[in-house]
Amino acid sequence: MINKNISFVCAVVVSVVLVEIFNSTKPKHPYAGLNIEQLVTKYEYPIEKHEVETDDGYILSIHRIPHGPEKTPTKRTPVLFMHGFTQSATDFINLGPNKALSFLLVDKGYDVWLGNARGTTWSRKHKFLNPNKDKQFWDYSLDEIGYYDVPAFIDYISEVTGADSLHYVGYSQGTTVFFILGSDKPEYMKKIKLMTALAPAMFLKDPAGPVGVLIRFRMIMDWFLDIFNFLDVLSENSFISSYLRHICNEHSLFVELCLHHTFLLHGYSYEQINKTELSVLYSNTPAGASPRQVKHIAQLIDSGVFSRYDFGKEENLRKYGQKRPPAYDVLKVNAPIALYYSSNDWVINVKNVEKISRTLPNVVKSYKVPLEAFNHNDFIYAKNVVDLLYAEVVNEILKY
Ligand SMILES: *[C@@H]1O[C@H](CO)[C@@H](O)[C@H](O)[C@H]1NC(C)=O
């Protein structure tokens, strides 16, 4: 009897594996597996890659789409995009022309720059630290991305283009690092024409969905990250990323699993996702993060206070001269800011956006996406993202 059951289970497993292998040979989206440079070239837009060195020795890549397929001589205003957690510049171009916000702005006459934060696929480089060996390379949280990376990009863009001000577009973590920059180096705020905040992440208390419950156990996650002594997490070649790339395509038997586990984090609805495009969207994502970055985000969710990384009492005393990590002084973030948010975003709840709106001194617009189902991921990947969101975003940018 037992033997029979075991044989049956084995037969099922073998069949599933065979079907999955067979499915993986089916033609995926023709652009699946391409990187940002190959994709933009396929779309027949020019793409450049520049390297920028930060004050603490990181060598970051920034991608640029300087103009459209036809070279036009007009002087273009630069726009700096900063991506979300474990994402990269690629997430801003994946949807392609006439759809991705980056291409819409190129077509409107802007000079688009797409930053890659330290530690992500295109920014794993340092003057003397080796990301594959040196733990020290990964000793950073959101604090350093805001304090070093973003201003390095802004300075570099000014230097190359001669422009003394630019637009900034941040998505999720890409907004957090802007708020950090404004608090730490407020002199940069006068260089910003308008900051477009897609799913603004400053106060993270009480996220909906499983994260809201799991955060109570964040000590276990910290402990897990510590005992395994990971250098980095969710990098492009990690096991989890490879697994996501495998199941996140329309032919996988497990595509529902892909949709469920990513959307459990972002807001439970995937009516706005185009399954045919999943294999493109996941070709370059996740793109990596540091364990300290993960812990920092967990701290922000847990405390609800927008503050620096918490090293623990003793180390905090040494670094900050106080036991608790100091809160960021966001009153200094006085660039004009447009906030875009949605009610089904499980990462950024509406109450927290309202709190940002009350706290920041120069909020010029607050726009709620007019679709109940719109989730955190939809800000960059929704099928109808142009009608629901980007048309509004572009109109606002054109005013500044
Ligand atoms: C979904 O993606 C495919 C492939 O890119 C495209 O042909 C199709 O038009 C898309 N569907 C919608 C509803 O956007």
> Which strands sit side by side in the sheet containing 363-368, from one edge to the other?
48-53, 59-65, 110-115, 77-82, 166-171, 192-198, 337-341, 363-368
Q: Whose CA is nearest to atom 14 of ligand 1?
A: 383
Helix (H) or strand (E) holding 168: strand 166-171
What CA–CA distances, in Å, run from 184 to 1, 17, 162, 195, 329? Answer: 69, 52, 24, 17, 8
Query: Catalytic: 345?
Result: yes
Question: Separation of 250 CA from ligand 1 center, angstroms?
Answer: 12
Please pick, among 88, 123, 172, 241, the residue that the annotation labels catalytic.
172
Amino acid 162: pLDDT: 96
Beta carbons within 8 Å of 33's beta carbon, 6+ residues apart: 279, 283
Residue 44 has pLDDT above 80, yes or no: yes
Amino acid 338: pLDDT: 98
Query: Catalytic: 310?
Result: no
Query: Catalytic: 376?
Result: yes
Which amino acid type is present at position 31?
Y
Residue 88 has pLDDT above 70, yes or no: yes
d(CA 113, CA 81): 6
Amino acid 2: pLDDT: 66
Give the predicted TM-score (pTM) of the model.
Answer: 0.94
Residue 239 has pLDDT above 90, yes or no: no
Please pick, among 149, 283, 376, 378, the residue that the annotation labels catalytic.
376
246-295 pLDDT, tens digit per residue, is 888 888 888 888 887 776 677 777 788 888 888 898 889 899 999 999 99
Instruction: Tell me the pLDDT band of 1, cut-offs 50, 70 and 90.
Output: low
Looking at ligand 1, which atom is closest to the CA of residue 276? Answer: 2
Residue 235 has pLDDT above 80, yes or no: yes
Residue 86 has pLDDT above 80, yes or no: yes
112-162 pLDDT, tens digit per residue, is 999 999 999 999 999 999 999 999 999 999 999 999 999 999 999 999 999
Q: What are the beta bridge partners of residue 289?
A: 233
In eight-state DSSP terms, residue 279 is H
Looking at ligand 1, which atom is closest to the CA of residue 96? Answer: 5
Residue 391 has pLDDT above 80, yes or no: yes
| Domains of the chain, earliest start first | 29-398 (3.40.50.1820)
Burial of 98 (0-12, 13-18, 19+ CB in 10 A): exposed
Average pLDDT, the chain: 92
Q: What are the beta bridge partners of residue 62?
A: 50, 115
Amino acid 227: pLDDT: 83
Q: Whose CA is nearest to atom 11 of ligand 1?
A: 274
Q: Which whole number is the average pLDDT over 196-207?
A: 95
| Binding-site residues, ligand 1, Cβ < 6 A | 274, 276-277, 383
346-384 pLDDT, tens digit per residue, is 899 999 999 999 999 999 999 999 999 999 999 999 999
